[in-house]
Amino acid sequence: MTELRIGHLSTMYHSSFILMSTDWLERAGIEPKWEIFGGGPAIVRALENNEIDIGYIGLPPTMIGIDRSLKAKCIAGGHVEGTVMIATAKYHTLDECNNNNTLFLEQFRGLSIACPPAGSIHDVIIRNYIKEAGLDEEIRILNYEWADMIPEAIMDGEIEAAVGTPSLAVVAKRYCDAKVVISPEKLWPDNPSYGIVASQNMIDNSHDTLLKFIELHDKACRFIRENTEEASELVADTIKMVDADFVQDMYMISPKYTAKVSEEYIASTMRFVDVLHELGYISGKLRQEEIFDLRFVKKLQL
């Protein structure tokens, strides 16, 4: 058995929860060592410190890490359009504001919007969205190191709006008298909500292990797409904190799960380069080959 140290998030729509719930990796000769983190930036730090071999992570945090000399690359996709905005019932949706971003955001002037950690994909997307509307001086972003703390803050009345994963949207609807006010595809089309990022050491020295992992990651993504009800039951049984209906609702909010690295995925990722630079998160302009290593998905014909 080959040990593989995997950093993951509590995000239930990631293939990690399918792989944790099955023996697929073990049967392929991989002994997974799972470690959970509060957000993408924490996974980047773990990669920098050689604490993990691969991570489930949004690409903007990865790009920030690469800019500061992290030796790692995205070797497979995972999901696109995984950022939604929710707010309590009194606020209008973007659709109700005739898709006018500025008009929509005006209702949050002087307020705070909760968000996962600074440098996470959600953080970058919402900061850019507000900046483009010219309201970055009027609306504050309140970052939470652990995204799981955001629903509690809504229930306690500390905040009234937030951005985050489809899981947040389902929790907000069920427990916080809140709703989706901007759907995933309207915040940033085709955004790389997560991919599989591997250390350069793994890429150079563990090619076969990474191929096996990506192949099973792809199998898990297909399982979510094609057997959504069964996948929902499996994840709910593993987590024990939610029911299968919760997981299925989450899957349906943003249903684009794939290990493939599409041209749209890459193009959307490269759009982040200028945004990250403008926001001061990176010092220079990263090239595609500094972010992606496509040899694995090409060999698997994904």
Q: Which residues contact 115 (CB under 8 A, 6 or more apart)?
A: 122, 123, 126, 141, 142, 143, 144, 150, 162, 163, 164
The pLDDT value recorded for residue 146 is: 84
pLDDT, averaged in runs of 10, over the chain (302 residues): 96 95 97 95 96 96 96 97 95 97 96 94 95 95 90 90 94 90 93 96 97 98 97 94 94 94 96 94 95 97 92
181/150 Cα distance (integer angstroms): 16
Q: Left (φ > 0), alpha (ψ -120 to 50) or beta: where does 2 sit?
A: beta
The pLDDT value recorded for residue 145 is: 87
User: Identical fold at 2-80+191-299 and 84-187?
Assistant: yes
The pLDDT value recorded for residue 175 is: 87
Q: Does domain 84-187 have CATH number 3.40.190.10?
A: yes
What are the domain boundaries of the chain? 2-80+191-299, 84-187
The CATH number given to 2-80+191-299 is: 3.40.190.10
The pLDDT value recorded for residue 148 is: 83
